Amino acid sequence: MPAILRNLLADHPRVVVPLLGTNFRLDTSGVVGVFGGEQAVSAMGTIPLYKNWKWLGWYNSPGSYEIAKRFGGLAKSRFFDGFFPGSRADPATLFEMDGSRGPKFEAAHSGTVIEETSHLATLFMKECEELNGTVVMGRQTQPVGVTIADLKHEPPTEVVLKQVVSHSAIVSGIPILVSVGTCVTCAFIRDWFSGSMILLGMIVSGISCFVIGSGTFIFTHPLPAPGSPPGDGVICSEKEFVLLRGKEGAINAITRGKFGLRFKSQPNYHDIGWCSILLMTQFLAQLILIPQGKLFGQLIISRDAS
């Protein structure tokens, strides 16, 4: 072998690529953007509730198609209607903070009957059901719980709720390190298709987490009418009766209060719409480019996305 050729090979050593000689192709393009979609949507919806979590989304996340389809329905314009057709929902319903039907409420003084109360009334009744009660001796019938709640605090009509402080930042950094490691590994074996898809997933996920996590968690309830009587009343279900006693504003907070998210871009939510388009672009890019990568890179990206 000529000396020049030996020196050239010495300066550029061969990179051993695992599974390079195989003819098998792992086509994960049809599922990489879909599997884990419900879990990814649920995880994305909890980001605004925790402090500083919006900064920890820089990893290759699965379910880009499902996330884009869910949150793209929030953007309001003809442009986004073309990408995400269908009815438009408010953030509280979209993030599953509201929308469920609460128990029936009957006011003691005014005679007002609310057939369906708010989601907060449902949570309050479940809290009452879990309390340890006093058993009343007598004839055995179907057990029914009775709770008397004295509501002395009358909250403002709008309250900005504090985000939950979580100390799991170190744990949250693990998927970021894994994504960086898999991206570097793909670059080392010169699988640019798989490596670029991991890098694209990290960038799109980080931007989406930051935008969606920038919402402000709020609680609202209607202002009581002037001169209204005390709001004492009963909310009831098949197994629980809860007697509410207090001012009209305090009762309204239980029966008609709502959780929600406020974004700076409302009411059009164009920033969330652009994030959804980025997620859809990521899904289409994975659909086309992942099958072009090496088998080892496909295994890495499918494992990293899961």
Provide the β-strand partners of residue 219.
159, 259
Is there a domain that residue 11 lies in?
Answer: no
Helices 192-212 & 270-289, crossing angle to 10 degrees? 160
- Looking at the chain, the whole-number percentage of residues with pLDDT higher than 90 is 5
Is there a domain that residue 192 lies in?
Answer: yes
Q: Could you tell me which residue, 299 or 240, shows the higher pLDDT?
A: 240
Is there a domain that residue 55 lies in?
Answer: yes
**Number of folded domains that form the chain:** 1
The CA angle 248-254-258, to the nearest 5 degrees, is: 115
Report pLDDT digits (tens) over 143-177.
Answer: 778 888 888 888 888 888 888 877 766 777 888 89
Helices 270-289 & 64-71, crossing angle to 10 degrees? 150
Q: Please, which pLDDT band fits residue 278 given cuts at 50, 70 and 90?
A: very high
Per-residue confidence (pLDDT) for residue 169, from 0 to 100: 64
Determine the structural domain holding residue 194 and report its residue range.
28-97+178-217+261-304
| Rounded Cα–Cα distance for residues 215 and 144 (Å) | 40
Is there a domain that residue 155 lies in?
Answer: no
pLDDT at position 179 over 80: yes
The single residue listed with the structure tokens 């649920």 is: 42
To the question of pTM greater than 0.85 for the whole model, the response is no
Is there a domain that residue 42 lies in?
Answer: yes
**What H or E segment, with its residue span, contains residue 107?**
strand 104-107
Is there a domain that residue 13 lies in?
Answer: no
Report pLDDT digits (tens) over 18-39.
Answer: 555 555 455 554 455 555 667 7
Is there a domain that residue 58 lies in?
Answer: yes
Is there a domain that residue 44 lies in?
Answer: yes
pLDDT at position 203 over 90: yes
Per-residue confidence (pLDDT) for residue 8, from 0 to 100: 41
Residue 104: count of CB within 10 angstroms of its CB: 16
Provide the β-strand partners of residue 216.
262
Per-residue confidence (pLDDT) for residue 274, from 0 to 100: 92
**What H or E segment, with its residue span, contains residue 13?**
none
pLDDT at position 288 over 70: yes
| Rounded Cα–Cα distance for residues 250 and 256 (Å) | 10
User: CB neighbours of 144 closer than 8 A, spacing ≥ 6?
Assistant: 239, 240, 241
